[in-house]
Structure formats: structure tokens, C-alpha cells
Amino acid sequence: METGQVQFTEPIFQQMITCLPQAVVLINKVGNIVYMNPQAEKISGYLLSELSGKSVKSFISDITLEKLANIQTHINNAGNNLFVENKDGTSQYMHIDMSLLSDRDGLVLISLIPYDINDKILQQLKENKEKFKKAFEASPAGMAITRSSDTTFIEANPAFLKMTGYTKEEIIGKSSLQIGMIMDTEARKKILEQLKQQGSARHTEIEIKLKSAPPLHVLTSIETIFLQGEPCYLTIHHDITERKHSEKILQEKTVELARINKELQQFTYIASHDLQEPLRTVSNYIEIFRDDYGELLKDEAYHCLESISAANRRMSLLVKTLLDYSRLGVGKERVQSSCAKIIQHVITDLDAMIQRSGTRILVSDMPELFIYETEVHQLFQNLITNAIKFQRAGSRPEIEIRAEQAGDKWKFSVSDNGIGIEPKYFERIFTIFKRLHPSSVYEGSGIGLANCKKIIELHQGEIWLESSPGKGTTFYFTL
């Protein structure tokens, strides 16, 4: 019978159902109530005449008609813990079992056993259910719930529908494969296999096809949950299309930058190398001219020849330093190295300069770091050399080198008591070949601090300074 009360053909069966100690409800194949025994009437507050012919969901709202269909097609169904709504508006938490009574009529017997739980626990269960529902509906991430058995959609939040362009009616009861939402079926198989083995699949990047828009890149996490005792999958999609687009542009720019840098390095090397050849030719002719005609030259002419020779040597030095600058970090690999040992090697290399100037160097505890060893040696050598070189006449250089951890980097400082630098030159001194003093006063190529800056940038660090004229300078840098 489709509606109304069921007519029992065996009086003894009706008597048995009526006398059962637990509440019993009979449902027909369309999910309408056809019988309630007195115990069911008692716990619910409803009479059979009030619910007869009405949907079971008016009495047990959490039940799914799909579960009834599974029972009616002989699919095994375990017990469920659900809320049952009473006539007076209260709810009871019950254990519910369902079993098929009649293949011909599709009658399903539902037995209800109240859980003996206190009001506080019951209220918590109801509140948790309401919290989940509100969070699901309000989430800005696209969220959907599918059955684990056939991956068909049973629920989707507004963000998911907006993201995909589908209505709820268009997806409920269908799988993402049937809709054509999944573009990579192999990735889908791997995710499902992971769900079966681990119960979750988190932070997976996939591409989904929308109803009427270009595909989206989404970061997907899936968790196994249980709804009315049935295992389901809660899927959460975060739209990362913009991020993927930005990553693609960044990757393209990185490749282009690497190409430009490579070309620049090649150009610098070729230019520096080729420039050395004519300089060597000029130098050779100067030596020949000096040897063959030196005695015939007047003092003024000889002085001019020496000036040409000195300019040629300076040009050769500049070309060499430019070549060295272009080679920094090229073809090198980082190694774990002791900064204390590197500084000690630098001090040994500069021993003659240190002894001649009477320099005193104080070095604090230094870390071991994953660095370009040769370049860091050059970094400390340049800074220590500058600290010794740029001194007031008659003063004794004093240098202090310290290091301290600053987050995930190390912060170093190299302090001196030298001539100092005006703040307006703080940026200029790191520019290649930009000198603050003529080479006749302080010798050098004007590339030392530019090298320091490039070396530090190779280590994703920064360099800066504090100084004032006549009060020394402190260079800070991070590695």
C-alpha cells in the first residue's frame, strides 16, 4: 500500500509488532509511514492517525531516503544514531535499525531504541550538528559532501556552487565524473585510492572543469566523515588559479632573467678577456720604447711615458676586477663551512698589511654556515682590508668582528675606528667603480664593496652600514 495504514494478513504478526518492547515504525517503498506500534506513539507523542501516510522525514528528519532504497534493494545497512523529533518539539537521540520485511511491498521495519544520555550531552550533540551546518554553509571555500560508496553528491555549499557554476539540483545524485567536472581521471583514481587507504587526501592540486567558464586550479583536501552512520567524503576546494597564474609568470620571468644573466656574464667575460689583449700590447710597446729610447727622452717626455704606463696598469686592473666580479658565484656550490676558520685564513693572508699598520683585530664566536666559501673569504677580506686602509694618519687600526643569530639568518658586523663615511654616500659606495677618494690618496679599484654586496645577495642577505666622518664605520650584513 502506498499510503494509509497497513493491513496485516497475519494477526499474530500484528500482535507481535504491537507487543514489542521497543518502538517500531513501518515504512512503505516511497518512504511513507504505514504503521507505528504503541511504544513508538509513546516516545514520540504522535498517534498513528497523525503520521499515517506522511513521509518518515517528518518524524526522523536525519534519515535519508537513499538508505531506505538500499534496504529495499537488499544492500546491507548498519545501525544509525539519529535525532528523532517529538510532537512537542523536543528531540531524542536514538539508535535506529532498518530491515526489509516484504520484497513485494518494499516494507521496511524501523526499530528505535532511545539512548540514555543526559540533557547536556544531547544539547552538545545538537549544537555540534548546528555548528557544522553553519560552518559548511558560510565557508568561503567550496565544500561538498559525496558518498564514499559511489562518490555521488549529496550536499554542496553556496561557495562550491558559485565556484563551479552549477545549481544544487544539477549535481545532487551525480558524481563529479558523471558531470564531467574532473579533468584528470588518473589523478582522481589516485585520490580515491588514498582515501580508501588513509581516510583523507590533503593539499592536492587539481584542475576542475566548470559549467560555463574556463577550468579552475584548486587546492583540494578530502576527509572521511560519517553522516547517519554512512561513510562520506567532505571535499574542500580553494581556488588557486590566480596563484598558479602568478607562479607561471614568475617562472617565465625567472627563466628570462637567468638567460639575461648568462648572456651578461658571457659578455662581461668576453669583453674583459678581449680588452686585456690590447692592454698587454700597449704595455709591451711601452717597455720596448723605454728600453730602446729611454735614454733619448727628456724628463718631461719620460714622465709622460710613465703616466701612460700607470694608466695602462690601472686599466688592466679595472678589467681584471670586472672579470672577477662577473665570476662571483658562477659554477660554485655551497658547503658547510666555519666562518671562524675563514676569518683566520683572511688574517693570515693579510699578515704583512696587519703587521705593517699595527692593526688589532678582535673576533667573537662565529657560526658554521652553508655558504659559498671562496666568496665569503673575499667578503671578509674586502671589509678587513678597507678597515685597515681607510685610516687617519698616525692612527692604529682597531677592528671588531661579531655575529649573532637573527631569526633564520646570522647577522654579522665589522666595526673599525677609521675615517668614517658621510651618510649621503651610503648608497654610492656599493656601486661598481664609484670611489669617494682618488687612487693617489687611497689605492684600490673601487669595486670591493660592490663585490661584498653581490656576495651577500648570493646568500639572500642584506648589507648596510652605520658611520659618521671621523668616528669609524660599522658594516652589517646577514647570511
Q: Which of 420, 206, 445 is nearest to 319 (CA)?
A: 445
CATH number of the domain enclosing 284 = 1.10.287.130
Q: Mean pLDDT score of the chain, rounded to an integer? A: 81
CATH of the domain at 108: 3.30.450.20
Shared domain for 220 and 307, answered yes or no, is no
Q: What is the pLDDT of residues 438-447, one digit of tens each?
A: 555 556 566 7
On whether residue 88 sits in a domain, the answer given is yes
Say if residue 444 is in the same domain as residue 373. Answer: yes
Tell me how far apart the terminal alpha carbons of the chain are, to the nearest angstrom: 82
Half-sphere exposure for 161 (CA within 13 Å, toward CB): 16
For residues 150 and 222, membership in a common domain is answered with yes
In this predicted model, what pLDDT tens digit does every residue of 162-180 receive, in sequence order? 999 999 999 999 998 888 8
One domain for residues 377 and 317: no
CA distance 274 to 269: 8
Between CA 78 and CA 301 the distance in angstroms is 111
- 228 with 253, same domain: the answer is no
Give 337's Cβ-side CA count (13 Å radius). Answer: 18
Q: Is 117 helix (H, G, I), strand (E, B) or coil?
A: coil
One domain for residues 391 and 435: yes
Total domains in the fold of the chain = 4
Q: Residue 474's domain is classified under what CATH number? A: 3.30.565.10
Do 368 and 465 belong to one domain?
Answer: yes
Q: Does residue 305 sit in helix, strand or coil?
A: helix
- pLDDT at res. 342: 93
Query: Distance between CA 421 and CA 390 in Å, rounded?
Result: 10
Which of 183, 206, 239 delimits the end of a domain?
239
Please indicate, yes or no, whether residues 132 and 99 belong to a single structural domain of this protein.
Answer: no
Pairing of strands 33-36, 23-27: antiparallel
Residue 299 pLDDT more than 60?
Answer: yes
Tell me, yes or no, whether 2 lies in a domain. no
101 neighbors 109 (Cβ within 8 angstroms): yes
For the residues 256-281, what does the mean pLDDT come to?
A: 74
What percent of the residues of the chain are helix, what percent strand, and what percent coil, each to the nearest 5?
Answer: 45, 25, 30
Q: What is the mean pLDDT of residues 19-46?
A: 85
Calculate mean pLDDT across residues 248-253.
89
Are 405 and 349 within one domain? yes
In a domain, 3, yes or no: no
Q: Which grid cell is 92?
A: 531524542
Residues 269 and 224 reside in one and the same domain: no
Q: Are residues 470 and 391 in the same domain?
A: yes
With vertex at residue 289, the alpha carbon angle to CA 288 and CA 295, rounded to the nearest 5 degrees, is 120
For residue 2, the model assigns a pLDDT of 45
Residue 4 domain flag: no
Q: At what angle do helices 299-327 and 448-458 cross, to 10 degrees?
A: 10
Total-model pTM: 0.44
Least confident range of 269-273, 316-320, 395-399: 269-273
Report the distance separating Cα 75 and Cα 83, nearest Å. 23
- What are the two backbone dihedrals, phi and then psi, of residue 417, each rounded to the nearest 5 degrees? -115, 35
Are residues 218 and 159 both part of a single domain?
A: yes
Predicted confidence (pLDDT) at residue 394 exceeds the cutoff of 60? yes
* 55 within some domain: yes
Residue that is last in its domain, among 273, 307, 327: 327
Question: What range defines the domain where residue 360 resides?
Answer: 335-478
Lowest mean pLDDT among 10-19, 135-144, 301-310: 10-19
> Which DSSP symbol is given to 397?
P
- Asked which of 239, 269, 291 is the last residue of a domain, the reply is 239
Q: What nine digits make up the cell of 183?
A: 579533468
Please report, rounded to a whole number, the percentage of residues in the chain having pLDDT higher than 90: 22
Show contacts of 459-468: CB within 8 Å, 24+ apart: 459/371, 459/372, 459/376, 461/409, 463/430, 464/426, 465/421, 465/426, 467/420, 467/421, 467/423, 467/426, 468/420, 468/421, 468/422, 468/423
Do the domain assignments include residue 1? no
- 5 occurs within a structural domain: no
Query: Within 10 Å of residue 159's Cβ, how many Cβ atoms?
Result: 21
